[in-house]
Chains A and B, each alone.
Chain A
Amino acid sequence: MTSKRVFILIPSYNEANVIRKTIASLQGPYEIVLIDDASTDNTSQVVAGLPIYYLRHTVNLGQGAALQTGMTFAYQQGADIVVHFDADGQHNPNDIPRFIDELESRKLDVVLGSRFLLREDRVSVPAFKQVILKVATLINGIITGLWLTDAHNGFRVMNRRSLGLIRLKENRMAHATEILAEIYRHKLNVVEMSTHITYTDYSKAKGQSWTNSLNILFDLFVNRYLRS
């Protein structure tokens, strides 16, 4: 394992029911940063006393904005490596050391999780979601120039260099595409690694419906053509 300072960023909106469990699952010499995106539940009370950094948006901005706040914070705190981790517990904490080792040994800038590299990871993805994700990888490739096997996988590991270069302006879910565009723009070294997503009833209910992909497309269009 690494001797570097690893910050795990957990953007969170109304995840009081699961957030303690998710944080407890992260065993290791990690600094944990919870970015509470103006939750209206009792998230702040639930996490009180835990050895984590707690940042709060006073107004709900979206996951992209929360991640950027966390990345800026980690950068200011001198983080060497940053991990994006979902609050709902669908990511596997054991992937973290595996991804970090890969990042360090191959001197990469970014390692992205993918559900489509191993059959066993892929089959646990609901069939309809697989179709949507495959379409999304195609669209992402066209828009960003980065051709990957998965899209909108929230599990990512990056080094400090990437942290200093990547800027997310997409406050909502389109950040997942924007981050690829940023990786491409700054010519960062990136690979995908297999990761397993555990789809619980909770995470499925909290997850996005496919119709939101239309919103994402709209946001991407707006960002490209209307933002000054």
Chain B
Amino acid sequence: MNAVGLLTPIQLLLIVLLGLLFIASLRVFKDRLYLRVLFMLGLTAAVVFIVYPSLTVYLALLVGVGRGVDLIFYLLFLVIIFALISMYRRILRLDETLTNIIRKEALRDGKKLN
């Protein structure tokens, strides 16, 4: 917060964007409670950090990172890697399902040509 106790333009902008993200997420994680909870926690944390940026510095120093932004960056990196791996696993499962369907069809329709 600035001297007059109001949010700066960038803080306002970020919070509005997060709000939109929140609305979008209501549709995306419809059937997965744990993802939704994680996402909500993430959003809440983001809002808190936007309103009180000095908090990140405090946390960063606590875990031995020099700057607050760096800490956020490292966390973001971990989250993205985790998301990528989960998505890749999902693709693998889809791959397996697809293989089974195609194999079933091939076995059913396989025939002697002559």
Contact = CB atoms under 8 A, between A and B. Distances in A.
Contacts of A61: 98-99, 102
Interface in A54-82: 54-59, 61, 65, 68-69, 72-73, 76
A66 to B, nearest CB: 9
Interface residues of A, number: 28
A49 B113 contact: yes
Contact of B112 (A35, A51, A69, A222): A51
Contact of A54 (B88, B96, B110): B110
Interface string A167-211: 001010000000000000000000000000000000000000000
B102 A57 contact: yes
Interface residues of B, number: 20
Given A171-B99, A228-B93, A50 B114 contact: yes
Contacts of B93: 228
B88 A51 contact: no
A226 interface: yes
Given A51-B112, A169-B96, A227-B92, A59 B102 contact: yes
Nearest to A33: B110
Contacts of B85: 226
A65 B103 contact: yes
Contacts of B92: 222, 226-228
A227 B112 CA distance: 36
A198 B85 CA distance: 42
B70 interface: no
B32 interface: no
B111 A69 contact: no
Contacts of B99: 61, 65, 171
A226 B90 CA distance: 10
A47 interface: yes
A53 interface: yes
Given A76-B107, A226-B89, A171 B95 contact: yes
B38 interface: no
A24 interface: no
Contacts of A68: 103
Interface of A: 33, 35, 47-59, 61, 65, 68-69, 72-73, 76, 169, 171, 222, 226-228
Given A35-B106, A227-B92, 12 more contacts: A51-B114, A52-B112, A53-B111, A54-B110, A55-B106, A56-B109, A58-B102, A59-B98, A65-B103, A69-B103, A69-B106, A226-B89
